[in-house]
Structure 1
Amino acid sequence: MPEIAPIRLAELTTLQTGAAPARMIDAETQEELVAALHEVWSTGDEWFVLGGGSNLFAGDVPFDGTVIRIRTTGIEELASPHPGRIRLRAQAGHDWDALVAYAVERGYAGIEAMSGIPGTVGAAPVQNVGAYGQEIQETLVEVELIDEHGDVVTIPAAELGLGFRTSVLKHHYGSVPERRAVILSVTLDLVVTGEEGRVVRGEQLRRALQLTTHEPVPLAWLRQRILETRAAKGMLFDAADPDTHGAGSFFQNAIISEAAARTLPQECPRWPVTPDLDTVTVIPLESYYGLSPKPPAPPSDVKVSAAWLIEHAGIRKGFKLPRSRAGVSTKHALALTNRGGATAGEIAELARFIQSRVHSEFGLLLQPEPVLVDVEL
């Protein structure tokens, strides 16, 4: 459990903000990670874990606690109980895109559309990462984690409460996670396709790849096209490109009721959020007469495009406040970027301005996507 000289968080995060914390520990192995968490939890000090730093917005004031950097790596191939499939168990600190590349090189399908997503494997289930219609919940089998009691346990994916970019482990802005725990490893179940690749069925991915037939496509070709698409949007980190010096999509797409969606302009992009139709109805035995009442149809929520709301509130790509070093990406309206030396205060000021414009124009308060540490919006 090596304790190191604290490093400025601005050097460890893609948004490039944050001072050095009071204390920093590097955990290179799972044993070191567990020991570090036990030690920090026993003191009662403030703490958080840091992976790739691509989803963290850290404040300008030094964090008065311990930052544990998860640097564990390694991929293990396991037999799958399902014919034609294989399981991969990856350590939490392993780079996510490196795991995707590993799978693609071996012809293992199921996560290739998520090529280029920054961050670590351990962060992926917390966020339920996804891209182009593919999400980790489709292949996730289980996670090994250490819970708030200090116990190392294996949890099936069904117990993680996976939803749109969320889980019971996620720290949403203004709230605490439903379950306090740190992921140690992740197990995925993938299809073995070999060199022939697979047929792309998801419409969102087919549009992104401009596919017109239903012939199998090689996974390597699919991955390369996804990486090119993400690079064109400034969603692949490049030290020479300020448009990539951000935390990806800074605001979440808004999930609202159908009634609220009808108040928005018709041209605002929206997608239905499928309700849970598998609701269990419990009827007391003394009240059961052989027929169960038909449950009322649950209201359907709607997901609306935060990028559209921002642009149509008058915030264009490349927008900056006067004398600010923070700006909206010139390629993607949802990305707030550090144009060079911006403080957390400058980025927060821009975020609040965008929130106020969207709220004034459409009555919706956009919620931040990254984890905020010592920053208020």
Structure 2
Amino acid sequence: MRAAENVPLAPLTSLRLGGTASRLVTAERESDVIEAVREVDDRGHALLILGGGSNLVIGDAGFDGTVVRMATRGRTSTSEADGRRVLVSAQAGEPWDDFVAAMVDDGLSGVECLAGIPGLVGAVPMQNVGAYGQDVSETITSLRAYDRERGEVVEIRREDCAFAYRSSAFRGRDSHVILEVTFALEQSTESRPLRYAELTRALGVAEGGRAPLAAVRKTVVELRRKKGMVLDPADPDTASAGSFFTNPILSAVELASLRERALGEDGPLPVFPEPDGRFKVSAGWLIEHAGFKKGYAGESGRVAVSSKHALALTNRGSATTRELVELARHIRAGVHARFGVTLENEPVFVGERL
């Protein structure tokens, strides 16, 4: 376990924004994580758990407390009796895309559509990470976490995680520190049935069809790279927190109102029925049709909508978090004024609010 004082946080985030942390602890073992968190709690100090920093917006004032940076590594696997499923447990500090690549190489399906997503394994349950028709909640069976109130490590079953669209029992709460996540994956050289139209078109398969795991992973990464969603220091469009807004989930009445307000817009409004009878609509479509096209910049020019993807807000260099948040507020207000829909932020905010 390594500790340092007054550490800049901007280099530790994909947005490259944010002030300094009073104290930064890098925990490379599970016992280090528990020890560091207990010490913070005993002292009554503020705590921030830092993973890959890719879904995080840190204020310019930084964090007046201790940041524990997860750097634990390792995974184990156990085959179930039927020989079809394998339970894979990964430490919270494992890089997520490395984990996906390893599962594809091992012939285990269930997370292949989630390739190219930055961040760490411990972060994916928090917002029920999903992309291209897959959510991690489909394969997570349980997780181990340090319960700060009880002062002990607990196992939490999938059914107690309250998974929902880009949400879980852990999002926005700090009562548990996730230490390890267990996934149930299928032994197969082919993907799970593919449900995302853009991906099936790129692979040349029918919706509901399957494709080789390696081909799915490669195609997903290529699609994400075209949208600036694969971290690349040479590409300013990747200096973002990924999708800044979630896709709104609307009732039938709300959808009817939106469709009425969207009459006359070019192109159909993308709508996706949800299992509970509600409807998911494209936040990117709403943003662009409210007048915020790809490349739209804030007043300073140092923050802008990505030139590749309307959902990503980017730091074009030497920006401040306040400038980014002001751009996000401007976009949210514009979408609400045009369509009557209030967008919600996807990344976690620290020291700022939308």
TM-score by length of 1: 0.88
Are residues 199 and 67 of structure 1, via their aligned partners in 2, closer, same or farther at CA, if it must alter by over 3 Å? closer
Corresponding position of 1:351: 328
Are residues 82 and 131 of structure 1, via their aligned partners in 2, closer, same or farther at CA, if it must alter by over 3 Å? farther
Amino acid at match of 1:202: R
Deviations 1:301-333 (A, max 9, x none): 221111111011000000002323000000000
Contact 2:112–2:191 under 8 Å retained in 1: no
SS in 1 for 2:186: strand
Work out the CA distance in 1 between the residues paired with 2:271 and 2:195: 18
State the shift of 1:81 in Å: 4.2
Matched, 1:202 2:195: yes
State the shift of 1:214 in Å: 7.9
Work out the CA distance in 1 between the residues paired with 2:202 and 2:181: 28
State the shift of 1:364 in Å: 1.6
Corresponding position of 1:89: 89
Corresponding position of 1:76: 76
Within a 5 Å distance, the mapping from 1:239-250 to structure 2 comes to 239-250=233-244
Corresponding position of 1:112: 112
Amino acid at match of 1:152: V
Structure 2 gap segments, 5+ residues each: none
Deviations 1:24-79 (A, max 9, x none): 11111000001111111111111110000000000101311111001101111122
Contact 1:324–1:346 under 8 Å retained in 2: no
Corresponding position of 1:174: none
State the shift of 1:7 in Å: 2.7
Match of 2:284 among 307, 318, 332: 307
Contact 2:9–2:20 under 8 Å retained in 1: yes
Contact 1:132–1:208 under 8 Å retained in 2: no
State the shift of 1:234 in Å: 0.5
Work out the CA distance in 1 between the residues paired with 2:17 and 2:311: 18
Corresponding position of 1:167: 168
Within a 5 Å distance, the mapping from 1:123-202 to structure 2 comes to 123-149=123-149, 150-171=151-172, 177=173, 180-194=175-189, 197-198=190-191, 200-202=193-195
Deviations 1:132-163 (A, max 9, x none): 11111111110000112221011111100001
Work out the CA distance in 2 between the residues paired with 1:199 and 1:163: 20
SS in 1 for 2:214: helix
State the shift of 1:216 in Å: 5.3
Structure 1 gap segments, 5+ residues each: 172-176, 276-299
Corresponding position of 2:269: 268
Corresponding position of 2:224: 230
Work out the CA distance in 1 between the residues paired with 2:208 and 2:342: 41
Work out the CA distance in 2 between the residues paired with 1:213 and 1:368: 30
Matched, 1:319 2:303: no
CA-based RMSD: 1.7
Aligned residue pair count = 345
Corresponding position of 2:248: 254
Work out the CA distance in 1 between the residues paired with 2:222 and 2:184: 26
Which sits farther off after the overlay, 151-160 or 203-212? 203-212
Corresponding position of 2:17: 17
Amino acid at match of 1:11: P
Matched, 1:65 2:69: no
Matched, 1:376 2:353: yes
Amino acid at match of 1:166: S
Corresponding position of 1:26: 26
SS in 1 for 2:342: coil
Amino acid at match of 1:316: K
Are residues 136 and 8 of structure 1, via their aligned partners in 2, closer, same or farther at CA, if it must alter by over 3 Å? same
Are residues 71 and 323 of structure 1, via their aligned partners in 2, closer, same or farther at CA, if it must alter by over 3 Å? same
Work out the CA distance in 2 between the residues paired with 1:184 and 1:214: 34
SS in 2 for 1:65: strand
Work out the CA distance in 2 between the residues paired with 1:216 and 1:313: 37
Work out the CA distance in 1 between the residues paired with 2:244 and 2:191: 33
TM-score by length of 2: 0.93
Q: Identity across aligned pairs (percent)?
A: 43
Corresponding position of 1:292: none
Corresponding position of 1:363: 340
Which sits farther off after the overlay, 215-224 or 256-265? 215-224
Corresponding position of 1:289: none
Are residues 246 and 188 of structure 1, via their aligned partners in 2, closer, same or farther at CA, if it must alter by over 3 Å? same
Corresponding position of 1:280: none
Which has the larger Rg?
1
Work out the CA distance in 1 between the residues paired with 2:208 and 2:143: 34
Work out the CA distance in 2 between the residues paired with 1:81 and 1:361: 56
SS in 2 for 1:127: coil
SS in 2 for 1:262: helix
